[in-house]
């Protein structure tokens, strides 16, 4: 089976939901001009295949595609929303594409270029400019009114108080004063009977403040401790990547995710950091698929094509990387 490096690019006019599947280094005469061209797409997460309804199925489904009328050197195939939408839903996923046409059979890891949009990105465009008439209505004249004079009510400065009310008020005041004097005398008498207050008893010791409980600092967003506490993988992934972790830090978290069998999170971390240009992580990801280093676990079986893809990604950033160069030569032979 011939190894290829297929790429999906945006369709002419950047029409959402459509794209061009470009096959670099595949000449037009390599495919039967009268043969039916079909593709099979498999995602690396769970080895499921893209079905006709846009879902992912355990059974293989071949999709018939048409060739673009292009005079370029590379073969270009036209893709519609049934294929484009599921692929751009998660651009960090790794996809393996197989192509068959007559006697020809090819495969390679699919790369999705920037600018490829889902059909959901299409919407009705409305004119954001609100048109306003150039004529301005004259401002209404302010209402004029004369304030009405305010006449204060007549108040008698010397209210009448009956002699009976004055006498009753005086009686109540005397009674209250008598009661207060009795209460005060009672407390003074009790104080004189009690034990005299000495300086030692009068001096109050200040209360001892209780020791503050030890506060455990929160775990770093991208750490094994935060991974153990996280319940939602997507939330952890977003918070972790916001900190732009170093390669050693991300590889430590990836190792913990492998042990915890959180395989989807592990592959998302690998793919995101590798595609963002971290060659150390990309090299480690390539070895996950390399038959020489593969270990049974989240990656069910070795895959030479996927390993070559990540090794070549390392070489695109570090052309002199001896490990990646040597493994590519071995895997291609």
201-215 pLDDT, tens per residue? 444 555 555 555 555
CA diameter of the chain: 127
pLDDT averaged over every residue in the chain: 78
**Token pair 């991300």 is at which residue?**
250
pLDDT tens, position by position, 258-274: 999 999 899 889 888 88
Instruction: Give the per-residue SS3 of 12-49.
Output: CCCCCCCEEEEECCCCHHHCCCCCCEEEEEEECCCCCE
| Greater pLDDT, 114 or 222 | 222
CB of 9 within 8 A of CB of 116?
A: yes
Lowest pLDDT segment from 169-178, 191-200, 277-286: 191-200
pTM, 2 dp: 0.47
How much is the pLDDT for 138? 41
How much is the pLDDT for 161? 47
**Strands (E) located in 44-103:** 49-50, 56-57, 63-64, 66-67, 75-79, 95-101
Phi and psi at residue 116, to the nearest 5°: -80, 120
CB of 299 within 8 A of CB of 289?
A: yes
How much is the pLDDT for 216? 61
pLDDT tens, position by position, 20-53: 999 988 888 788 777 789 999 999 878 899 998 8
Residue 308 to residue 325: CA distance in whole angstroms: 10
The token duo for 61 is 């489904």
Helix locations, 203-278, DSSP H: 224-229, 233-242, 247-259, 263-275
Q: What percent of the chain has pLDDT over 90?
A: 33
pLDDT tens, position by position, 233-255: 888 998 998 899 999 999 999 99
Burial class (CB within 10 angstroms; exposed 0-12, middle 13-18, buried 19+) of 61: middle
């Amino acid at each position: 089976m011939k190894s290829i490096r297929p790429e999906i690019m945006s369709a002419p006019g950047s029409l959402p939901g459509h794209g061009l599947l470009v096959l670099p280094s595949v000449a037009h005469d390599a495919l039967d001009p009268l043969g039916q061209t079909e593709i099979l797409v498999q995602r690396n997460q769970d080895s499921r295949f893209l079905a006709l309804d846009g879902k992912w199925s355990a059974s293989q489904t071949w999709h018939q595609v048409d060739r673009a009328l292009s005079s370029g050197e590379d073969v270009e195939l036209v893709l519609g929303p049934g294929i484009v939408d599921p692929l751009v839903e998660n651009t960090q996923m790794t996809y393996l594409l197989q192509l068959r046409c007559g006697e020809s059979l090819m495969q390679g890891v699919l790369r999705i270029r920037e600018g490829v949009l889902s059909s959901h990105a299409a919407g009705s465009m409305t004119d954001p400019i609100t048109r306003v008439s150039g004529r301005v209505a004259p401002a209404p004249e302010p209402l004029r009114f004369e304030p009405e004079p305010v006449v204060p009510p007549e108040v008698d400065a010397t209210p009448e108080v009956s002699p009976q009310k004055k006498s009753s008020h005086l009686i109540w005041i005397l009674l209250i004063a008598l009661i207060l004097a009795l209460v005060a005398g009672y407390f003074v008498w009790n104080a004189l009977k009690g034990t005299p207050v000495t300086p030692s008893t009068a001096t109050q010791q200040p209360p001892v403040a209780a020791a503050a409980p030890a506060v455990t600092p929160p775990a770093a967003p991208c750490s094994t401790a935060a991974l153990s506490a996280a319940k939602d993988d997507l939330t952890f992934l977003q918070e972790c990547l916001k900190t732009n972790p170093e390669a050693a830090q991300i590889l430590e978290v990836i190792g913990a995710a492998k042990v915890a069998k959180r395989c989807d999170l592990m592959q998302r971390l690998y793919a995101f950091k590798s595609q963002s240009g971290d060659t150390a992580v990309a090299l480690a990801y390539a070895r996950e698929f390399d038959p020489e280093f593969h270990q049974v676990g989240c990656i069910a079986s070795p895959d030479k094509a996927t390993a070559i893809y990540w090794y070549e990604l390392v070489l695109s950033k570090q052309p002199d990387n001896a490990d990646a160069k040597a493994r590519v030569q071995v895997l291609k032979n």
